[in-house]
Amino acid sequence: MNRSTGGKTRIPGSNWLRALGCSAVTLAMACAAPPALGADPAADALIARFVQGTIGDGYRVEVEVGQLDPRLRLAPCERIEPFVPAGARLWGRSMIGVRCIEGANWNVSLPINVRVFGQVLVANTTLLAGAPASEPDFRLAEVDLTREGRNVLNDPSVLAGKTLSRTISAGQPLRADHLRVPLAVSPGDPVRIRLLGNGFEVAAEGVAMSGAGDGQPVRVRTDNGRVLSGTARGRLVEIRM
């Protein structure tokens, strides 16, 4: 049984492995009894708050805590705290560090599974490749970001002027690579070139060497054979000298 002295929780060595699941993630708060890992709602809530601080606001977090290597034998510790090990990321299956900061000198890693949920755009119905990306075709819904990845989109304003690069099924989250800007110029198209410098502007003619949408970078070849890079503005290419 744990006993408290002077507001600190002492965890005897014989009970430490069982109690760590509660104590480590409750930031050294006392536990009435060592619960089964992942089965104590209060401990789970405190774990989620700790992980939430590393992920940021605006997400719902679910955490499943694993078990330590049963072969470990650690000295009794009066106060412990969790930390994020170097190179670790509390995202999906990962590890959280736990160290003793009073009564002993050790640190260990505890397996943890973190699921992060957030609102993203999902398709209302099946949408075909090449169709305009229209805001009414999508809605915001909560998805598991640890399964979908971080390149999913949640801002409807990014749809403006875009088309779909591939077919999207109903309910499928929208990712950045699902969208493309329609080509303003294609390779081989004749273009007008505007050379902009400090206090001067020169107009020229050329040919696009790559495709680009409005506002995207494009390479052009001038009439004298020079290859320059600029920004597509429709069939006009701006090049800043």
Mean pLDDT for 35-51 is 54
Q: What is the pLDDT of residues 138-179, one digit of tens each?
A: 999 999 999 987 789 999 999 988 999 999 999 999 999 999
Please report which confidence band the pLDDT of residue 194 belongs to, taking 50, 70 and 90 as the band edges: very high
Q: Tell me, what's the pLDDT at 137?
A: 95
Give the separation between CA 38 and CA 230, rounded to whole angstroms: 56
Pick from 230, 136, 233, 237: which is nearest to 181 by CA? Answer: 233
What separation in angstroms does the CA of 136 have from each of 7, 105, 154, 159, 240?
57, 58, 14, 10, 38
CB atoms closer than 10 angstroms to residue 143 = 20
Half-sphere exposure of 115 (CA within 13 A, CB side): 10
Q: Tell me, what's the pLDDT at 48?
A: 67
Give the separation between CA 228 and CA 209, rounded to whole angstroms: 10
Pick from 31, 44, 50, 24: which is nearest to 109 by CA? Answer: 24
Q: Tell me, what's the pLDDT at 78?
A: 75
Q: Tell me, what's the pLDDT at 223?
A: 87
Q: Tell me, what's the pLDDT at 46?
A: 59
Q: Do residues 143 and 173 touch, judged by C-beta distance below 8 A?
A: yes
Mean pLDDT for 125-143 is 94
Q: What is the pLDDT of residues 93-124, one digit of tens each?
A: 998 887 788 888 888 888 889 999 999 999 99
Mean pLDDT for 33-41 is 38
Q: Tell me, what's the pLDDT at 212?
A: 87
Q: Tell me, what's the pLDDT at 8?
A: 33
pLDDT at residue 6 is higher than 50: no
Amino acid 132 reads P
| Tokens read off for 46 | 């405190």
Please report which confidence band the pLDDT of residue 45 belongs to, taking 50, 70 and 90 as the band edges: low
The rounded mean pLDDT for the chain is: 78
Give the separation between CA 29 and CA 18, rounded to whole angstroms: 15
